[in-house]
Chain A
Amino acid sequence: MITAEQKPIQEIIQYIAPYSKILLVGCNECVTVCAAGGRKEVGLLASALHLNHLKQGKNIDIREITLERQCDPEYVEELAPYIDGVDAVVSMACGCGVQTIAARFKKTPVFPAVNTRFMGASVSQGVWSERCKGCGDCVLGITGGICPVARCSKHLFNGPCGGTSNGQCEVSPDIDCAWRLIWERLKELGMESRYEELMEAKDWRPGGAGGPGTIIREDLA
């Protein structure tokens, strides 16, 4: 999923300071799962903004709505009946959702309430960890199912650097060395020979270095 964290409340308050009618929009997908911008978080943020305004003796009108998916125009269209009645939109979706709303409603300012972080997996309750960089050319089939792009701090492709220490990364002792994990996994699978195969320099263009990516499925488009 795409993970996100709520922005500092004061940053959100500054965004909406000039406005009195706010449409606060959550998303039922990734940000619900990572507890950053689902229906529950929409309610909590709305309540926090109400408390802030109550203390200042100001009124704020917040309409709460959580869409099935904010990155799909057909769901964003559900905001159309409300958009003329508000001064601004605050989106609790990832950056994709914020931009989909901004593209649809050109006259209404849209502000993000979360910082989009990474594509990650759930490690345990309340803990998410980065697992994919979206490099556009997956190598997990070669590396035992452990990604050296997302999980090696240097995105190395042919074994660990000299900074690995007791199996941990030199960036932080809390980060596992991805190549230690890859080696252990290959050994478990009896596929140590894979480790000897050199990988060529990676073409980073499919992963963003070639400009913003677009996928066109001609059978669907």
Chain B
Amino acid sequence: MEHFEPEIVAFCCHYCAYTAADMAGSKRISYPSNVKIIRVPCSGKVDAIHLMKALEKGADGVYVAGCLAGDCHFKNGNVRAEARVNRVRKLLTELGWEPERVAMYNMSAGMGEAFAQVAKEFTETIKKLGPNPGRTGAVDKAAS
């Protein structure tokens, strides 16, 4: 666990978080390489199944980064994304998984620092939670 480096998937909206990540790069602001970015045309494009499949395939944490409240390029995609994230968090709780493995963040295209800060915070959260329970479950079974 000491050397645990989580795999994190970040679904980033093209109009805000993805550009914010670009901004972070332009400003030479570093953020953890654990975060693997998937660009989406809008955070509202991210469905519950995408978050679930990421966890099923071994991601230790997943987050969606969309536009600030009221600023969605497509009106309310970020609101829909947040509702889906909350739904998945509830489902994970019912399954005995930590709901903190899935999160929603909001930022604008100019918030490079915020993007890096979110990436760092989420990576730390997942490091504390430990690896994906699906992977440890398989290990437990092999050991027994």
Asked if residues A55 and B91 are in contact (CB atoms below 8 Å), the reply is: no
Q: How far is the CA of A9 from the CA of B53 in the complex (A)?
A: 17
CB distance from B64 to the nearest CB of A (A): 16
Question: Is A47 in contact with B56, judged by CB distance below 8 angstroms?
Answer: yes
Interface string of B4-48 (1 = CB under 8 A from A): 000000000000000000000000000000000000000000011
A12 to chain B, nearest CB (A): 10
Among B94-102, B104-112, B115-123, the stretch in contact with A: B94-102
**Residue contacts A-B, CB under 8 angstroms, 11 given:** A8-B94, A51-B134, A54-B134, A55-B97, A55-B134, A55-B137, A57-B139, A57-B141, A57-B142, A58-B137, A58-B141
Determine whether the beta carbon of A47 is less than 8 Å from that of B53: yes
**Chain B proximity of A211: nearest CB distance (Å):** 39
Chain B positions within 8 Å of A9 at CB level: 91, 94-95
A10 x B94 contact (CB < 8 A): yes
Give the contacting residue for B56; candidates A10, A50, A56; CB below 8 A. Answer: A50
A57 touches B138 (CB 8 A): yes
A residues adjacent to B (C-beta < 8 A): 8-10, 40, 43-44, 47-48, 50-52, 54-58
Say whether B85 faces chain A, with CB atoms less than 8 Å apart.
Answer: no
CB distance A44 to B48 under 8 Å? yes
Q: CA separation between A66 and B144, bound complex, in Å?
A: 37
Q: Closest CB of chain A to B60's CB: distance in Å?
A: 13
Which chain A positions have C-beta within 8 A of B92? 51
A57-B52 contact given A9-B94, A48-B95, A51-B97, CB 8 Å threshold: no
Contact partner of B137 (CB less than 8 A), chosen from A10, A43, A48, A57, is A57
Q: Which residues of B contact A50 (CB under 8 A)?
A: 56
Judge whether B137 and A56 touch: CB under 8 Å. yes
Say yes or no: A51-B56 contact (C-beta < 8 A), given A9-B95, A10-B94: yes
Q: Which of A8, A40, A44, A51 has its CB near the most chain B CB atoms (within 10 A)?
A: A51
- Counting chain B CB atoms within 10 Å of each CB, the highest count among A10, A40, A48, A58 belongs to A48
When the two chains form their complex, are residues B49 and A47 in contact, meaning their CB atoms are under 8 A apart? yes
- Tell me the bound Cα distance from A55 to B133 in angstroms: 5
Beta-carbon contact of B95 and A52 below 8 Å = yes
CB of A54 within 8 A of CB of B56, answer yes
Residue of A nearest to B141 (CB): A57
B81 located at the interface, meaning its Cβ lies under 8 Å from any Cβ of chain A in the complex: no
- Beta-carbon nearest neighbor of B80 in chain A: A125
Q: How far is it, in angstroms, between the C-alpha of A44 and the C-alpha of B133 when the chains are bound? A: 18
Query: What A residues does B55 contact at CB under 8 A?
Result: 51
Assess whether A55 is in contact with B96, with CB atoms less than 8 Å apart.
Answer: yes
Which residues of B have CB within 8 Å of A57?
A: 137-142, 144
| Complexed CA–CA distance, A48 and B47 (Å) | 14
Q: With the chains together, A58 CA to B141 CA distance in Å?
A: 8
Cα separation A50 to B55 with both chains bound (whole Å): 10
Question: B49 near A44 (CB under 8 angstroms)?
Answer: yes
Rounded to whole angstroms, the CA-CA distance of A43 and B51 in the bound complex is 12
Complex CA gap A40/B48 in Å reads: 9
Return A38 CB to nearest CB of chain B, in Å: 12
How far, in angstroms, from A203 to B92 measured CA to CA in the complex?
48
Residue of B nearest to A50 (CB): B56
How far is the CB of B108 from the nearest CB of chain A, in Å?
27
A40, A43, A51, A58: the one within 8 Å of B95 (CB): A51
